[in-house]
Structure 1
Amino acid sequence: MPDWSAVLISPDEDFDGAPLLRKELRLDEGHGAVVRGTLLATAHGVYEAFLNGRRVGDDVLSPGWSSYEWRLRYNEHDVTALLAETPAEGTVLGLALGNGWFRGRLGWTGGRAYYGSELGAFAQLEIAYADGHVQTVVTDESWTAGPSAVLANDLYDGETIDARRLDDGWLRPGHADPAWGGVHRGELDLSTLTPYIGPPVKRILEVAPVKIWTSPSGRTLVDFGQNLVGWLRVHVQGPAGTTVTLRHAEVLEHDELGVRPLRTAHATDRFVLSGRADVFEPTLTFHGFRYAEVEGWPGELTPDALTAVVVSSELRRTGDFSCSDELVTQLHRNAVWGTVGNFLDVPTDCPQRDERLGWTGDIAAFTPSAAYLFDVDDFLRDWLRDVEAEQRAADGMVAFVVPDVLKLVLADDPDASSFPPQESTAVWSDAAVWVPWALWQAYGDRRVLEDQIGSMAAHVRRVESLLSPTGLWDTGFQFGDWLDPTAPPEDPILAKADPGVVATACLFRSATLVAETAELVGHEDAAHFREVAERTRTAFVEHYVADDGRITSDAVTVYALAIAFGLLEGDLQARAGDRLAELVREGGHHILTGFAGTPFVTDALTITGHLDDAYALLLQRECPSWLYPVTMGATTVWERWDSMLPDGTINPGQMTSFNHYALGAVVDWLHRTVAGLAPLEPGYARVLVAPRPGGGLTWAKTSLETRHGAVAVGWTQADGAALELDVSLPDGVTGVVRLPGEADREIGSGTHHLTAASV
């Protein structure tokens, strides 16, 4: 931890919620050349730093969103090169602030400033010289504050910039402006300061428009061809004072911008022109959108005037997949884009409406998929620190969202009292266990288990206290199989699957994983959690499973969970698998599962010998299905199976997002079963190559950049022909090839071509 001498400072005047802060300094003389410069910085709000007139770093929206009460992250920037440009008259360290998550709107009730009413900055510039001398420049009461060109900024509502107020003089020595004033010391507990574990948010891609046209109502619309998250960079010239307005949305409805799913989020940026050639980039907000509506543009709008800037936490892409069915390949692409859009500092549910919260159920479902597509180890280990911090403050309870702003929203707004009181709930709270376990399996780094065993154990112990005398988790509120497509649009909690069955199955899985984790890290309570798991299995079978394998509520999800989690054995599992397949067929191979069942249904069918039904479920084109949104032109995974209806109108429910990743968790099955690549040991030090062709697919391939190097598996099979399999393993990695009807084959590193006539 640095030896802090800085203090948090806030401007005496708010300056439209986007103040600028500055400090002039001179380098100490007589100590030789500057050999190292380090800027440590954070904020209440979000900040951008400048030194010698240049932007420090390429991160945006820093320090992001963490559980601010206990964890405020700071960035560390190497500014040695910028200090080398210091002019003789001195330099300026500048900080630009915005509301961000700290003071902006959060949640759907309209509230804001849940973490504090004042913006503030905290920075420490450490300059090391050749003779060992260190000069330290810090935020303190000697700084000054003034207005920026930003008139309004909010993550939900957008940003307003007046180019007539742009003036970079504040970043040069000698700046004097009567509009500038003082600063005062704010409150900051230095013990909450912590370095980033995960990556910062950055601009990662730019996307050009694919179409500009006029809507039936006469509005100018722009299509970027991809549902994405970020903002628009605008090049424009027009009369001074002209206002250009940009509205953003994910879809069109009746050939106009479909804004109803945004609910109260305005998602609107406004740019006031200076009369010169202006460039606008609203870096204090972000939008989830594919389409933009442009109003007030001077002259003809051309494609080179607008660029969509995609922002996300900086994640390295690691996994890929494609196959002979282009719709399935597009489904996989949609899951990739959904990850990019929703892994924006916090693993969010959606990036566009008045929500964008770290719902724990979404990431519980999706982590195995995300950990294959990208290296999300540090990103999610950072978030898990917030999970643990929130748990400690809530006696082990894992909140619905992390960071848990809902505890503040619900306390602040009496009109939100109809929302259920927070308590541990299946799938959502199980994220405390399922996420670190999935990271361990994907990357083989035991640190995540060592760091999180306390949190994992606390979750199961909390649930133990909630069980009924039967040993079932059938008490209290449950989201259950949330967004079961058979539930009414206005009440997505009314799933067919019994919530007690879902919850008890999830407890069994979590207790089992905590027991295994405890054994791996030498935790003293391994035997206790093993006993919890076995008690839960016994209670589940006794109270929920009939002799013929029927499970209470007789829904697809309850069979999928019981089978995939290993709750059933022998003939009981076989009968449950047969009933699962029967229900899937009766449903016409349409999806009949929500958040709880969807990640596991294809696995359960595969495990119990019903691969053809798993493929029929995957390849279904009619709604509800995974591929229905793809046939409707989706470029990300939808929140609802029918977020858009077949006639092109938006689902009438009040909760309709076109960029959710949770229901895209099937891509994990695509990797492991369709293409056939899975870890035999955590981190892929040893791999299983076990493709299960079906559904009429003639080829599939996948690749993964593991901690040990690149692994690739691909197969082809024409009608009636032998299966041709190609496998590539890096040095030091071995594997097992497992094909139906054949003995396992051991393979070593290198490239292998195998033929299996019986598949």
Structure 2
Amino acid sequence: MTTAPVDDIALAAAAFLTADTPRNAVVRFRTVSALDQPRDRITRATLHATAHGVYEASLDGEPVTESVLNPGWTSYEWRLAYQTFDVRGQLAAGSGSELRLELLLADGWYRGDLGFARANANYGDEISVAAALTIEYADGSQQTIATGPEWTAEDSGIRSSLYNGQTIDARGAAGPLEARVTDIDRRTLFPQSAPLVMRQETLKPMSVQLSPSGSVLVDFGQNLVGWVRCTVQGESGHEVTLRHAEVLEDGELGTRPLRGAAATDVFVLSGGLDTFEPTLTFHGFRYVEVSGWPGDIDLDSFEAVVVHSEMKRIGTFECSEPLVNQLIHNSVWGQKGNFLSVPTDCPQRDERLGWTGDIAAYAASAAFQFDSADFLDGWLRDLFVETEHADGGIVPLTVPDVLKYANFPDGFSLPWHRATAVWGDAAVWVPQALWHAYGDRERLAAHYPAMVLHLGSAERDVSASGLWDLGNQLGDWLDPDAPPEDPAAAKADPSVVATACLYRSASFAAEAATILGADEDAARWRRLAETTRAAFNQHYVDGGIVLSDCATVYALAIVFGLLDDPDLARAGDRLAELVRAADYRVTTGFAGTPFVTWALSETGHVDDAYALLLERECPSWLYPITMGATTIWERWDSMLPDGTVNAGEMTSFNHYALGAVADWVYQVVGGVRPAEPGYSRVRIQPVPGPGITWARTRLETPRGVVSCEWELVDGEFTIHSSLPDGVEGDLVLPDGSAVRTIDGETRWRCDLR
């Protein structure tokens, strides 16, 4: 994609084309146009395109871009991204005085029957596409070829659904259609800013096996998101079917967690050598069941194509414990799979929605692992417009909020019309994570209005007591002690969770307002934070014991700064007691999990934090790894020790939220912390604990590369750190001594015996 400024009127000449087709049918629009001048006189050629749906554009039979699933998923009612591609080289490499421009159009997210529980949510009944090719010649003249009523349309023979998969008939198109012009609100158009979705890498199969029922199962060895590309030859009209799933259960493809998503691709052979690649859908899978394959399976005929939004890997971590290294691997792959146009909860079942609570929990980890600034900035702009247009300025549970169009069956509902802690707090916590990671003041300013809306909506549910104890809450979602059928039935009182979250959000909003020079706002949010803190302590804290007396409420109270000594020390001790009493099994859900190890280490219980991290029995972070996990699971026990899948209706094997402990691993075990936003000043402070004897951490910050390596041998601690040019830092050693460091390398040691 070009980085040059985009002409906002580029699509003015382009009509939005549609055709009357059944759901899932993929339309091909085409035009053949004469070039005004020979190709060697072309000095510039640019294609602008977008769609309600997803499109693929080609010139003279070749794709114009390596990106896929364009234009991605945004809040289409108010924001529709258009893409700009430099195609001069492609035109120059062609031949002849005519060019052929084609556009494939599929339902994508716009008309994808999205959601769960048979929601079948859609933005509209009609998909459409628009494109304009602008060609400039050496003499300064210009030619524009744009979508219009003269274009032809045909059924491509492809059927595509994001949830159900793709059918490709290699024998050709199914028949002509009538192209007609429609229109959209063109005020929604804006130039692409978030990174495009790209093919990132390919994986070859590890093995092929027969299931007990005789099905052929191909194992790619890694739970991933994308599709399978395969090459096959057989009789014309013969069908090859690929079904995808993340796990095996009883040796068979484990499709029950997919719920209503068929996740099935069908390839109809031409009779020659065919290569199939279903680029208008995507799946979350490790295993593929292959049926109808002509002859014996040849693993060289298959490769898994990994697909996600373009992101640069910036943070790495490695330590002496292989299971922790695998945990970080799983977190990284969970982010890859769920950062596909929007930050989704899961990539495989009939859902794949931008749940705000998941990214609220995970944003800090995400911002360390990959440069997520552009990706999350685009999503936060959707969050703002969704919130701005919602009744009461309430942050939706999902962004983009397609679920407002859901057709849920009677008796099913969600707390749509009230502010929700953690989920709504994404409006504050995600910008907070981005601010600390990248220090971009301009983007902080862009994200601040959503903070204002969220806090305003939350204030309406604050009772006269000063507590956020009105409205509906999801609380400490997926507490491992909650029954499978009721994931909100947590030990933590939901009002304690909500009030703690309100304090954190109000505190950062006050900080953001101060940075931005909004002094009146800053005073408002400081008052809200102060009154919330006072109410929390008055109603929920008694001698350091927090109401509902479970790990999550202590973690939030400690890490968010709600307690003063001696209550802080007592709460830390009580948290450690609870963690030990649970034999270091995890007892927290979405709300508490990102903070429980922080709360332990910050109150002097480092050994307990390490023991909690390193526990292997269920529920724990390492239990899934002992069960072969290659991504983070949605539930601590998504798979039970006997190899059966959790009986709940809601379980996936690629959910990053509970992997939010990675942030603590990077900063506390790894020792790389931002002392000031964007790492303009760095704090190197690894805190060793039992079970890990060395760690290496590297982060490419906006100021350059920061690294920290440490080792503990027979009580002697050694550290080697490096800071970018012009960056100062503070090196805090495990014995409590501190050293001010300047750019470059620093080596130090201390005796911990």
**Normalising by the residue count of structure 2, what TM-score does the alignment of the two structures yield?**
0.97
Find the partner of 1:521 among 512, 516, 519. Answer: 516
Please list, as runs of the form range in 1=range in 2, the aligned pairs for 1:454-533 lying within 5 A after superposition: 454-523=449-518, 524-533=520-529
Are residues 1:399 and 2:399 paired?
Answer: no
Q: Is the 8 A contact 1:35 1:129 kept in 2?
A: yes
Shift of 1:407: 1.1
Q: Is the 8 A contact 1:338 1:659 kept in 2?
A: yes
Shift of 1:14: 5.4
Deviation string, structure 1 residues 700-746 (Cα, Å, up to 9, x no partner):
110001111111101011233x1110111121112110013343101
1:218–1:39 Cα change, 3 Å? same
Shift of 1:113: 6.1
Helix, strand or coil for the counterpart of 1:25? strand
Which residue of 2 is the match for residue 588 of structure 1? 583
Residue ranges of structure 1 left out of the alignment (5+ in a row): 168-178
Letter of the structure 2 residue corresponding to residue 68 of structure 1: Y
Are residues 1:6 and 2:2 paired?
Answer: no
Which residue of 1 is the match for residue 3 of structure 2? none
Q: d(CA) in 1 for partners of 2:290 and 2:409? A: 38
Please list, as runs of the form range in 1=range in 2, the aligned pairs for 1:246-261 lying within 5 A after superposition: 246-261=242-257
Please list, as runs of the form range in 1=range in 2, the aligned pairs for 1:721-732 lying within 5 A after superposition: 722-732=716-726
Helix, strand or coil for the counterpart of 1:153? strand
Q: Is the 8 A contact 1:198 1:382 kept in 2?
A: yes
Find the partner of 1:641 among 612, 624, 636. Answer: 636
Please list, as runs of the form range in 1=range in 2, the aligned pairs for 1:266-665 lying within 5 A after superposition: 266-394=262-390, 395-409=392-406, 412-415=407-410, 417-523=412-518, 524-546=520-542, 548-665=543-660
1:15–1:617 Cα change, 3 Å? closer
1:270–1:32 Cα change, 3 Å? closer
Q: Is the 8 A contact 1:399 1:423 kept in 2?
A: no
Helix, strand or coil for the counterpart of 1:148? strand
Letter of the structure 2 residue corresponding to residue 237 of structure 1: Q
1:13–1:286 Cα change, 3 Å? closer
Q: d(CA) in 1 for partners of 2:240 and 2:373? A: 41
Deviation string, structure 1 residues 424-476 (Cα, Å, up to 9, x no partner):
10000000000011101001111221101111111111111111111111112
Are residues 1:156 and 2:163 paired?
Answer: yes
Residue ranges of structure 2 left out of the alignment (5+ in a row): 1-6
Q: d(CA) in 2 for partners of 1:351 and 1:130? A: 47
Letter of the structure 2 residue corresponding to residue 739 of structure 1: L
1:32–1:209 Cα change, 3 Å? closer
Are residues 1:144 and 2:144 paired?
Answer: no
Helix, strand or coil for the counterpart of 1:492? coil
Q: Is the 8 A contact 1:114 1:408 kept in 2?
A: yes
Q: Is the 8 A contact 1:15 1:148 kept in 2?
A: no
Which residue of 1 is the match for residue 672 of structure 2? 677
Q: d(CA) in 2 for partners of 1:662 and 1:492? A: 14
Letter of the structure 1 residue corresponding to residue 402 of structure 2: V
Helix, strand or coil for the counterpart of 1:671? helix
Q: d(CA) in 1 for partners of 2:271 and 2:139? A: 51
Letter of the structure 2 residue corresponding to residue 96 of structure 1: L
Find the partner of 1:39 among 39, 44, 47. Answer: 47
Are residues 1:82 and 2:78 paired?
Answer: no
Find the partner of 2:57 among 49, 56, 75. Answer: 49
Q: d(CA) in 1 for partners of 2:413 and 2:8? A: 45
Q: Is the 8 A contact 1:507 1:533 kept in 2?
A: yes
Tell me which moved more, 110-119 or 516-525: 110-119
Tell me which moved more, 354-363 or 729-738: 729-738
Q: d(CA) in 2 for partners of 1:549 and 1:268? A: 54
Deviation string, structure 1 residues 467-504 (Cα, Å, up to 9, x no partner):
11111111121110000001111101000000000000
Q: d(CA) in 2 for partners of 1:17 and 1:166? A: 11
Which residue of 2 is the match for residue 245 of structure 1? 241
Helix, strand or coil for the counterpart of 1:164? coil
Find the partner of 1:750 among 741, 744, 748. Answer: 744
Letter of the structure 1 residue corresponding to residue 619 of structure 2: P
Q: d(CA) in 2 for partners of 1:457 and 1:82? A: 47
Find the partner of 2:220 among 214, 221, 224. Answer: 224
Deviation string, structure 1 residues 634-690 (Cα, Å, up to 9, x no partner):
000000000000011100001010000000000100110001110111111211000
Letter of the structure 1 residue corresponding to residue 752 of structure 2: S
Shift of 1:88: 2.9
Q: d(CA) in 2 for partners of 1:383 and 1:350? A: 16
Q: d(CA) in 2 for partners of 1:604 and 1:366? A: 17
Find the partner of 2:684 among 686, 689, 696. Answer: 689
Letter of the structure 2 residue corresponding to residue 261 of structure 1: P
Q: Is the 8 A contact 2:39 2:91 kept in 1?
A: no
Which residue of 2 is the match for residue 173 of structure 1? none
Q: d(CA) in 2 for partners of 1:719 and 1:654? A: 50
Which residue of 2 is the match for residue 735 of structure 1? 729
Q: d(CA) in 2 for partners of 1:268 and 1:471? A: 52
Q: Is the 8 A contact 2:42 2:92 kept in 1?
A: yes
Sequence identity of aligned pairs in percent?
Answer: 56
The count of aligned residue pairs is: 743
Q: d(CA) in 2 for partners of 1:62 and 1:15? A: 19
1:717–1:315 Cα change, 3 Å? same
Are residues 1:102 and 2:97 paired?
Answer: no
Helix, strand or coil for the counterpart of 1:145? strand
Shift of 1:93: 1.1
Q: d(CA) in 1 for partners of 2:698 and 2:307? A: 25
1:16–1:675 Cα change, 3 Å? closer
Q: Is the 8 A contact 2:558 2:599 kept in 1?
A: yes
Find the partner of 2:80 among 72, 76, 85. Answer: 72
Across the aligned residues of Structure 1 and Structure 2, the Cα RMSD in angstroms comes to: 1.5
Shift of 1:748: 1.3
Deviation string, structure 1 residues 34-82 (Cα, Å, up to 9, x no partner):
1111111001110000112211011100111110000011111001112
Helix, strand or coil for the counterpart of 1:103? coil
Shift of 1:189: 0.8
Shift of 1:15: 9.1
Deviation string, structure 1 residues 600-650 (Cα, Å, up to 9, x no partner):
000001111111110110010000000000111100000000000001110
Tell me which moved more, 96-105 or 412-421: 412-421
Q: d(CA) in 2 for partners of 1:276 and 1:423? A: 58
Shift of 1:17: 1.6
Deviation string, structure 1 residues 385-433 (Cα, Å, up to 9, x no partner):
1000001111321000000111111xx3343644333421000000000
Shift of 1:568: 0.5
Tell me which moved more, 659-668 or 11-20: 11-20
